[in-house]
Amino acid sequence: MKNWISFPHVEGTASRQAHCDMPEGTYEQEMGREGFFGPASQLHHKHAPTGWVKWEGPLRPRAFDLNKVDTPKASPWDAQLVLFNAATKVRMWRTEGNMPALARNADGDDVLFFHEGEGRFFCDYGHMTFRDGDYIVVPRGVQWRLECDSPAMVLMVEATGDSYKLPEKGIMGSHAIFDPAVLEVPRIDDTFKAQYSEAETLCEIKREDTVSRVTYAFNPLDAVGWHGDMAPVKLNWRDIRPLMSARYHVPPSAHTTFLSGRVIICTFAPRPIESDPGALKLPYFHANVDFDEFIFYHKGQFFSRDNIRPGMTTYHPIGFPHGPHPKAYETAMDYARKETDEVAVMIDTRDMLRPADLPEGVEWTEYYRSWQSKEAAE
């Protein structure tokens, strides 16, 4: 049995409640462990913790415009790798039409998040439709393919050597955030039966990032029935009802959607902004020292960032504080916006992510300067 060293203490000029009623003229920074689940302290600074004016070395905040990854690939295993570590691989996949081969991941579960596109998803278990904003969780070893009615842009997040599960919802109960009843599973319907075939069918199997190709004398997606409690599941962000409080900004961990042993996927969905006069009204400056943070922006205006559009991403590794941009901070604290319209996918990883080799122009190399005031930037 191990316990964190615990000594709740107040020193100097400080608020009584985290994220509320901060001392005038101060900026709050949270130093916390275990991704907002462990012990934490709130420090009150005279200056924003992101007020750097120069940055040297490889550890830095980064941003990528994945709209510029624009070459369609027929196979998901040819998708552009964005970030990776031993526990996950984050890819951006553009595809269109019908996949010519089945795909099977022998390395781990995949989460597919459909940023753009619509069509049909076929797998060993049957058929489901997909549209923008859908997550589909594909368990390790399941064969699948897409038929796209329009070009698709898909964020792929692999749980390497692991499985995705649902978060514990504690005192909120099992129906909080989203009711498991909204999860959809594939069906053996007329659309699935129509694709039964005796034609030779190729399956591309990925194991340790090497692809093997297996050809069947028939289409192996030929199930006539199934029972059990393991299958691909689909969830759309529109079915997520985020936790919120009018008087307190809840941490990102309250928006957890799926998680594996070393990877957490959260969904930020539209919600009212805190209305209490003393409550912080956007994500607080924080230095979470146990997780790297990667966010993919799907829709709307991300209320704590400037100059970030749908299809872009930000990456904040462990090692330095981060938080809202100056203009966004001002807007939020003036309560100029009453609700968010953002939809974003956040991926937190226990292990440091490494950027892959990306096409020229995808990375916004001056992103670290985006926290500077206009005066400092000049």
Question: Which residues define the annotated binding site for Fe cation?
Answer: 286, 292, 322
Q: How far apart are CA 75 and CA 5, in angstroms?
A: 49
SS3 content of the chain, % helix, strand, coil (to 5): 10, 35, 55
Q: How far apart are CA 295 and CA 64, in angstroms?
A: 10
Please give the order of strands across the beta sheet that includes 143-148. Answer: 126-130, 119-123, 143-148, 102-105, 201-207, 210-216
143-148 and 152-160 strand pairing: unpaired
Residue tagged active-site, from 249, 255, 298, 316: 249
Q: How far apart are CA 63 and CA 314, in angstroms?
A: 4
* Binding residue numbers: 286, 292, 322
Q: Note whether 291 and 73 are within 8 A (CB).
A: no
Question: Could you identify the residue written with the tokens 């096409």?
Answer: 359
Q: Note whether 348 and 251 are within 8 A (CB).
A: no
Q: Note whether 288 and 318 are within 8 A (CB).
A: yes
Q: Note whether 76 and 205 are within 8 A (CB).
A: no
Radius of gyration of the chain (CA): 22
Q: How far is CA 112 from the centre of its chain?
A: 11
How many helices (H) and strands (E) the chain has is answered by 3, 22
Question: Could you identify the residue written with the tokens 């009615």?
Answer: 149
Q: Which of 26, 2, 4 is nearest to 15 (CA)?
A: 26
Question: Could you identify the residue written with the tokens 């200056």?
Answer: 47
* Binding residue numbers for homogentisate: 322
Annotation says 255 is catalytic: no
Q: How far apart are CA 92 and CA 345, in angstroms?
A: 13
* Three-state secondary structure call for residue 97: coil
Residues with catalytic roles: 249
